[in-house]
Chains A and B, each alone.
Chain A
Amino acid sequence: MTERLLEVRDLYTSFFTDAGEVKAVNGLSFNLDEGEVLGIVGESGSGKSVTAYSIMRILTDPGIIKSGKILYKGQDIVSIPDKEMRKIRGAKISIIFQDPMTSLNPTYTIGNQIEEAILLHTNRTKKEARERAIEMLKLVGVNEPEKRVKQYPHELSGGMRQRVMIAMALACEPDILIADEPTTALDVTIQAQILELMQKLQKELGMAIIMITHDLGVIADMCNTIIVMYGGRACERGTADEIFYNPCHEYTKGLMRSIPSVVGKRERLIPISGTPIDQLNLPKGCAFAPRCDNAMRICMEAQPDEILINKDHSAACWMNVKKVYEEEAGKEKA
């Protein structure tokens, strides 16, 4: 049986700014099992990164986890002391960012930085750590790793830095890798190399990945399961096939209609109307209601719960509730 690695339960994270409370994550729950590749998509500001930072406990001021549980192998890591968390962060759960320079220190050689991570979390000697660093660089496809360990980040290309960051994140063989837009800044050919690498390492090391991106192509390519976020909540979740071929939340449907066809049918795109939501003033009902073409009165009034579409799929949209009622009513008549 596969092990449950992570359980996020009813997570609320806010930023208490001068302008008011920015409700970035509003009751998000999900599970992550061993070997799973979970994709999180959603528009800019929907709370993807804040979710990742909450799990890593690297939220910056004035952000705090207001409530909820984050269970790593059954242990709630929201409330454990910082000292305990440091043993998990980087060792059991690692993160890579869009911009490698946010995790690479420009004043240290890359060898030093990878060794540092290894020394911090294992009881390897300095010499062993260096060997491990070189081994990791080889693993992620950096050529001449013996030379590279002596180089500084700025001496490497963007794709190379991204690889170094992955090497660093994986040096302690974490159970979970969180990748926050890991390839957004890269060219498609380099992106393909990095994605291929992540897939390969995931299989070899058996870790779970949380892949955060707004690129539906990357998601389709990489993920078994997908969570679509809107306004800090999961508006829809399911297997990749369910989300792409049977979207059941109006936002997800809109998202699928707004991207160009893969096979070059030049059909007119259908944009999602309206403007992104303001997290300072969340709507009372469904967060997507103000932009939804099919919004009903109840959508403005009450937040829809997630309901099951089938065993691989659920969505939080009143349209689906309506459908269930109509079907029930139909059955009764018959």
Chain B
Amino acid sequence: MSSQPLVEVKHLKQYFPIRTGFFGTTPLKAVDDISFHVDEGETLGLVGESGCGKTTAGRTLLHLYKPTAGEIYYDGNLITEKNIKNYRKEMQIVFQDPYSSLDPRMTVADIIGEPLDIHHLYSSKEERKGRIRELMDLVGLNSEQANRYAHEFSGGQRQRIGIARALAVDPRFIVCDEPVSALDVSIQAQIINTFEDLQKKLNIAYLFIAHDLLVVRHMSNRIAVMYLGRIVETADADEVSDHPLHPYTVSLMSAVPVPDPKLARSRQRIPLEGDVPSPLHMPSGCSFRTRCRYATEKCAQERPELKEVSPGHYAACHII
């Protein structure tokens, strides 16, 4: 493996202008200065409460939203608005909702074939057809059903169609935005296995966004924890889960309901008080301080930066 990460994000910001009152706008800091990297063939899990900016981070990274500030590198090359089209093939996205992300009037062949058309990835009709069949096989869809419409498929099958479509252009990196959240447990397991098999076979890297922390841990090499637009902790997946450092991560991990009654009885939840503040009124200093039991004077004044606490384990908190 090369030492250079496949994807690297530096000081990325995404501010949405929100109209407030009659005059002017206030920036909603959906993503506020985050940096991370994903190595080739690796999975980075991205977790955090609803609204903390996971989707925005994933979409901005792909230039689906124009970044407010910051840099994105692919294979060491700076990605800009101008050159992004050259990298679209390399970086794909799979969405959460298999029901709404596919056009019900298109056949499976149309859906999977569309990116092939856009990127001119075949020289004959036969080749196109063969490639679609290949992709369907790859994700465990019956290629006999290529001419059926998306709405004729179950949720799990539709999610596979979405994955096949993302794979059509041979990407090396896929942003998976809650790809299993809408599915039943048993179907979830099928899709998770599909992602794992594809990674092994094709060495694809994933940015894996999900709210089920056990699923994220299962899938990821490393995990980054977001809170209000910032990354507050990142480390090896087991390390973050078993030895969280940041007070937010500690609460988050203790709140995960575990499907094991004995363990559940022996565990102690560390409850978080209050609600997430509005991203329009971010607290000064550490954005977690309004809910943090350890907050001090300094936390209100100074924003804690991510620092390496032990090799590969980073946390942004003044008391660590």
Contacts and interface: CB of A to CB of B under 8 A. Distances in A.
Given A188-B211, A264-B242, A244 B184 contact: no
A68 interface: no
B218 A266 contact: yes
Contacts of A196: 269, 271
B252 A188 contact: yes
Interface residues of B, number: 42
Interface stretch (B1-9, B58-66, B109-117, B187-195): B187-195
Contact of B260 (A160, A193, A244): A244
From A44, A160, A260, A270, residue with most partner B Cβ within 10 Å: A260
A266 B217 CA distance: 9
B255 interface: yes
A43 B256 contact: no
A19 interface: no
B255 A189 contact: yes
B154 A261 contact: no
B193 A268 contact: yes
Given A43-B184, A271-B190, A241 B261 contact: yes
A260 B238 CA distance: 13
B78 to A, nearest CB: 35
Contacts of A276: 154, 184
Contacts of B187: 271
Interface stretch (A53-61, A215-223, A321-329): A215-223
A259 B214 contact: yes
B84 to A, nearest CB: 32
A157 B259 contact: no
A269 B251 contact: no
A244 B259 contact: yes
From A159, A217, A276, residue with most partner B Cβ within 10 Å: A217
B144 interface: no
Contacts of A282: none
Given A187-B211, A193-B272, A264-B218, A258 B260 contact: no
A22 interface: no
B81 interface: no
Given A192-B271, A193-B272, A220 B264 contact: yes
Contacts of A254: 186
Nearest to A45: B184
A188 B213 contact: yes
A195 interface: yes
Contact of B241 (A159, A193, A264, A271): A264
A216 B259 contact: yes
B118 interface: no
A195 to B, nearest CB: 7
Interface residues of A, number: 45
B242 A217 contact: no
Contacts of A260: 192, 214-215, 217-218
A181 to B, nearest CB: 13
Given A192-B271, A260-B217, A214 B185 contact: yes
B27 interface: no
Interface in B233-285: 237-238, 241-242, 251-252, 254-264, 269, 271-272, 274-276
Contacts of B185: 43, 214, 216, 255, 258-259
Contacts of B264: 217, 220-221
Contacts of A245: 261
Contacts of B196: 268
A309 interface: no
A101 to B, nearest CB: 16
A102 to B, nearest CB: 19
Given A187-B49, A188-B213, A264-B242, A193 B271 contact: yes
A266 B257 CA distance: 18
Contacts of B186: 43, 254-255, 258, 271-272
A196 B190 CA distance: 32
A262 B259 contact: yes
Contacts of A44: 184
Interface in A39-98: 43-44
Interface string A185-226: 001111111011000000000000000001111111100000
Nearest to A267: B218
B261 A220 contact: yes
B257 A258 contact: no
A275 interface: yes
Contacts of A244: 259-261
Contacts of B211: 187-188
A171 interface: no
Contacts of B276: 157
B258 A262 contact: yes
B269 A217 contact: no
A110 interface: no
Nearest to B155: A44
Interface of A: 43-44, 143, 157-160, 187-193, 195-196, 214-221, 240-241, 244-245, 254-256, 258-262, 264, 266, 268-272, 275-276
Question: Nearest 6 pairs between A and B by C-beta?
Answer: A217-B257, A260-B218, A192-B255, A216-B259, A271-B189, A272-B186
Given A221-B258, A260-B218, A261-B218, 6 more contacts: A188-B252, A189-B255, A196-B269, A258-B186, A264-B237, A264-B241
21 contacts: A43-B184, A143-B274, A187-B211, A189-B49, A189-B255, A192-B255, A195-B257, A215-B257, A217-B214, A220-B257, A220-B264, A221-B261, A244-B261, A258-B185, A261-B214, A264-B237, A264-B238, A271-B189, A272-B189, A275-B154, A276-B154
